[in-house]
Amino acid sequence: MSGIFNAYCRIYQNAFRGAVYLFNWREPRLLQGEGSLSKLPALIKEHGFERALIITDKTLTRLGIAGGLKESLEAEGIFAAIYNETQPNPIIDNIEDAVVIYNDNACQCIIALGGGSPMDCAKAAGARIARPDKTIPQMKGLLKVGKNTPRFYAVPTTSGSGSEATIAAVVSNPLTHEKYAINDLHLIPDWAILDPSLPKNLPPHVTSTTGMDALCHAVEAYIGKSNTKRTKQYAIDAVRLIFDNLIKAYKDGGDLEARKNMQEASFKAGVAFTRAYVGNIHAIAHTLGGFYNTPHGLANAIIMPYVLDAYGEKAYKKLAELADCVNLTDKAESDETKAKAFIEAIRRMNREMNIPDKADGIKDEDIPKMIDNAYKEANPLYPVPKIFDKDDFFKIYKLIQK
């Protein structure tokens, strides 16, 4: 990559980093603890809402969780409509269908119930409700919503996406294989309901991949160049919590203490990366989701050690600091030794949770377009330790290809 383009990217990132200090950043208010979901209807009633839309998916409907929430709301005198067609990596049709249900039922607030996909669908639906004059593609990118969305209550049932704390709604276009984000401060949920009993029955492979998603958020936020004192501390807290609790939650889904700690990790990692941003791991993961519908957490888990390796000495110091915070090596070791130990610890966690080290389905003929998409997503926005050129992206795709 030319030095001129590198310099342009860094100037852009520094300007953006300075600008974000002027934004009206906020964090969702929290309702947390075992059984906190049961307190949500009374909270919504207290806020004066009488009609709500629950955006969820088929799995949570089948498990009875969505229906149970609807019944609880109606017991408080709150009408509840349900949209449950959200698919993994939600598409524009999901969002538009949810908006129709919201409007047809004169709803006043939105409840997102589920993992990252229902959260993204709900946020994007809120954006469309706030901006009926704009299509979803027209809101792609930064700060293109610009108006208050309906009151938004986020109820995560996984611990990983961090979407209950972020400005982003990620949307997929199956026709173009594009996966992109709408980023706007108005998309930050008003409330996050962290009930550790909700994820206790997750399949182990969902616990593992969503947990590694949270780790990826924390790591990319920490090693990037747009940190604040607060985002650094949140990222460190999240890394510690994940190293201490993810394997426990994976092996024993009923361990509510581990589940509670993983919810806290996901939330803190979400707060960290929504302000400090992500990096090349996400740029590549989004292409796997867009082309092959690869679950986002799985993609991040597979890609993470390869990209951290590729950053080389540019990331050694900060990765060494993360290694120190989880006591991986003697603190007298070199930054390079500690950084490599941290990357190996990620690989070890993947192996222990049966996460593969290669991605299924990558076709040679798709790689050029995926490289182009990843390159455009990452540059000039992502404040990564090392700016990747197209050859760097190509090497990662070949490394993760089966």
Q: CA-CA distance, 393 to 5, in Å (whole number)? A: 16
- In this structure, how many other beta carbons lie within 10 angstroms of the beta carbon of residue 161? 28
| pLDDT confidence tier of residue 18, bands split at 50, 70 and 90 | confident
Q: CA-CA distance, 393 to 372, in Å (whole number)? A: 9
* Matching fold, domains 29-195 and 202-400: no
- What per-residue confidence (pLDDT) applies to 331? 86
Q: CA-CA distance, 206 to 208, in Å (whole number)? A: 5
Residue 294's identity, in one-letter code, is T
Q: Spell out the domain ranges in the chain.
A: 29-195, 202-400
Q: CA-CA distance, 335 to 256, in Å (whole number)? A: 36
Q: CA-CA distance, 11 to 359, in Å (whole number)? A: 34
Locus of tokens 């990209």? 307
- In this structure, how many other beta carbons lie within 10 angstroms of the beta carbon of residue 321? 18
Model confidence at 164: pLDDT above 90: yes
Locus of tokens 């709150």? 78
Q: CA-CA distance, 315 to 289, in Å (whole number)? A: 26
**Topology of domain 29-195, CATH:** Rossmann fold (3.40.50)
**Residue 57 in contact with residue 86, Cβ under 8 Å?**
yes
Taking the domain 202-400, which CATH number applies?
1.20.1090.10
**Residue 324 in contact with residue 339, Cβ under 8 Å?**
no
53 membership: H or E segment, kind and range: strand 51-55
Mean pLDDT of 213-226: 97
Mean pLDDT of 273-300: 96
Mean pLDDT of 89-113: 97
Reference 172, options 185, 163, 161, 181; nearest CA is 181
| pLDDT confidence tier of residue 175, bands split at 50, 70 and 90 | confident
- In this structure, how many other beta carbons lie within 10 angstroms of the beta carbon of residue 166? 29
Q: How far is CA 329 from CA 130, 304, 313, in A?
A: 50, 20, 18
Q: Which two tokens stand for residue 323?
A: 């290694």
The overall longest dimension of the chain from CA atoms, in Å, is 64
- What per-residue confidence (pLDDT) applies to 176? 87
- In this structure, how many other beta carbons lie within 10 angstroms of the beta carbon of residue 38? 14
For 252-270, write each residue's pLDDT tens digit. Answer: 999 999 999 999 999 999 9
Model confidence at 2: pLDDT above 80: no
Reference 167, options 212, 209, 126; nearest CA is 126
Residue 327's identity, in one-letter code, is N
For 364-400, write each residue's pLDDT tens digit. Answer: 999 999 999 999 999 999 999 999 999 999 999 999 9
Model confidence at 145: pLDDT above 90: yes
**Residue 379 in contact with residue 387, Cβ under 8 Å?**
yes
For 357-373, write each residue's pLDDT tens digit. Answer: 999 999 999 999 999 99
- What per-residue confidence (pLDDT) applies to 166? 96
Mean pLDDT of 280-308: 97
- What per-residue confidence (pLDDT) applies to 50? 98
Alpha carbon dihedral 104, 109, 113, 115, in 10-degree steps, equals: 100
Model confidence at 1: pLDDT above 70: no
Q: Which two tokens stand for residue 114?
A: 């589920």
- What per-residue confidence (pLDDT) applies to 174? 85
For 104-136, write each residue's pLDDT tens digit. Answer: 999 999 999 999 999 999 999 999 999 999 999
| pLDDT confidence tier of residue 177, bands split at 50, 70 and 90 | confident
